[in-house]
Amino acid sequence: MGSNRELKELCYMEALEDSVVSVEMILNRLNQIEQKKGVFDAYILSHDRSKTVLDLELSLATLCILLRKMSENLFIVTPEELRRDMNSIIHSNRFEYTRLEVVVYSQKGREPIDLQGLLNFCHAILKSDKVRR
């Protein structure tokens, strides 16, 4: 049975790495859009930014679901404040992104998210991965 668990952990770690790369690529895209303000038509940039923010919302939700699954399978221990942020992202009904700040809204109201803390946690998990390295 140990090998099945190791295989499962390997699959989760690969998925985590893919999810983190996806979120970071989207954040880079948002930074590129910011840098193009005043150079390109405002309407085009606004539309591109709106779509990219939606991509970020979905990528973060996917990342948070994966982290929750990893925690439920006892591969990781999630700090309480990050667990709260993860649940807020997953259950939010409105999502806003402003230059390195994520805010979600749910029945609880406005909830700022520690995006950098979440990404740092993911990178720490990936660095601790003993299976592949």
Q: What is the pLDDT of residues 46-60, one digit of tens each?
A: 999 999 999 999 999
Whether pTM exceeds 0.85: yes
> Could you list the residue range(s) of the whole structural domain that residue 111 is in?
2-127
| pLDDT bucket at 130, cuts 50 / 70 / 90 | low
pLDDT value for 41: 83
133: in domain? no
| pLDDT bucket at 22, cuts 50 / 70 / 90 | very high
Looking at the 3D structure of the chain, how many domains does it have?
A: 1
Cα separations in angstroms, 114 against 10, 84, 91, 120: 27, 10, 16, 10
15: in domain? yes
Cα separation, 130 vs 123, in Å, equals 14
- Mean pLDDT (the chain) is 91
pLDDT value for 101: 85
40: in domain? yes
Could you tell me which residues are beta bridge partners of residue 102? 97, 113
132: in domain? no
